[in-house]
Structure 1
């Protein structure tokens, strides 16, 4: 209600999803992580980390006030050279970012998506730098990028034993009959060889 965004559940697919070719997308398991980009830097393939340029405090305040008074964030006037926090010299804007007079145009959230190269032993991007070795030109990548099975049918945690401990008598709340808590309470104190072996009596 107070944020500059709206969440709307609808039966129609947004034009942004269609433009991104959602029908050809490969659904994958959500793994906690971050966006990455690989492109040439210093005459060799380099891993880049996501770094969005954000407005400084004064510009952010102006933008928020504008959003409260108007509908379309695209109508807000940005002075990219003065309104944004400085970016590292090697920062580049993300592809397909609209540009006016050589300056990238901020998105509807007031950010300019972009990238910075991940240098060896960079503490800020330690997780990124841990998967690349520029000297040997090797990197770890997700299985589906190599054409291997993804998601992995039996991950480490999926193959471990599970004990259900869900006694609803200890709870003050009354849960809806379709709620997962109710389903788990019906198999309270049971042990299963792995997650996939849990079958609910629906």
Structure 2
């Protein structure tokens, strides 16, 4: 599995998609749906998606680990967006008869200001040394999650910069059917992207923790491999999502040998998400968080809460509860 140092501006769907004039099942404010046809996307064919590694697409928020101020840091997704006037012009252009013309951006004047620490994501195209907006008029990027930043308090809860570790959910190295929650050195996650999931992220589709005892975890992208993924065929994938236990996921991301990522979301097939039961919650999980190895003094944080459960195994991740 290759290391992922970037957010692609848009991961293509494994099938050719079409826009239908009906309310989206994914976004309440969106008055159209993007649905898959039964034709394979030429990009997927060109990247030999049949030989790719299928992994679970998780429903959270994307993060990135890279160096900041000389240390490994967690970075939060922060897309640079156009200001009100530029956005109005862009939407007018989108609904006009565009022909062969292309919308012209002035990045310095048309976009909202971002923190000085903001960086564009790898893979973002540049023009005249300025990052180029994607087809949605956004510039994907990152900001570092600094200590005690209230805006990113849930991101902050899964990292400790004093010891340089992050709280990670992954497949157990001892048993691929079991999940593991463990503290991983951020230096081992450098230039990787991860998904932050938990109580206060995307309406918590996995039912982790609660308001009184929130739980958040980092999941390295590509780490949860799908073992029974069907042949890349519309009907077979549709049936797999509906009938298989392992198909109770938000979607699939295929990691191709040439580095290309290809995805399929349940919404592309007109299927419901979130689900009352998910595959992530059907798997047993073991806790391997030992603070003594870092010489930590006990503090009232998420790492400490998990360290008190060190060595324990739960039938479901939803079963994890902390003593108050």
Q: TM (normalized to structure 1)?
A: 0.65
Secondary structure, aligned partner of 1:124: helix
**Other-structure match for 2:81:** 54
Secondary structure, aligned partner of 1:12: strand
Count how many residue pairs are aligned between Structure 1 and Structure 2: 156
2:60 to 19, 26, 33: 33
With over 3 angstroms needed to count, the CA separation of the structure-2 counterparts of 1:148 and 1:13, relative to structure 1, is: farther
Gaps of 5+ in 1: 158-179, 181-194, 197-202
What pairs up with 1:97-176 in 2 under 5 angstroms? Answer: 97-144=124-171, 149=176, 152=179
C-alpha contact (below 8 Å) 1:48/1:117 kept by paired residues: yes
- Which segment is superposed worse, 8-17 or 121-130? 8-17
With over 3 angstroms needed to count, the CA separation of the structure-2 counterparts of 1:8 and 1:127, relative to structure 1, is: same
**Other-structure match for 1:164:** none
Secondary structure, aligned partner of 1:10: strand
**Other-structure match for 2:106:** 79
1:43, CA displacement in angstroms? 0.8
Secondary structure, aligned partner of 1:108: coil
C-alpha contact (below 8 Å) 1:36/1:49 kept by paired residues: yes
With over 3 angstroms needed to count, the CA separation of the structure-2 counterparts of 1:106 and 1:19, relative to structure 1, is: farther
Q: Does 1:92 align with 2:119?
A: yes
Hey, what's the Cα distance between the residues in 1 that align with 2:63 and 2:103?
A: 29
**Other-structure match for 2:52:** 24
C-alpha contact (below 8 Å) 2:172/2:178 kept by paired residues: no
With over 3 angstroms needed to count, the CA separation of the structure-2 counterparts of 1:20 and 1:4, relative to structure 1, is: farther
C-alpha contact (below 8 Å) 1:93/1:113 kept by paired residues: yes
Hey, what's the Cα distance between the residues in 2 that align with 1:148 and 1:84?
A: 48
Structure number having the greater strand percentage: 2
Gaps of 5+ in 2: 1-20, 23-29, 180-205, 208-241, 243-280, 283-324
Higher RCO (CA < 8 A, seq sep 6+): 2
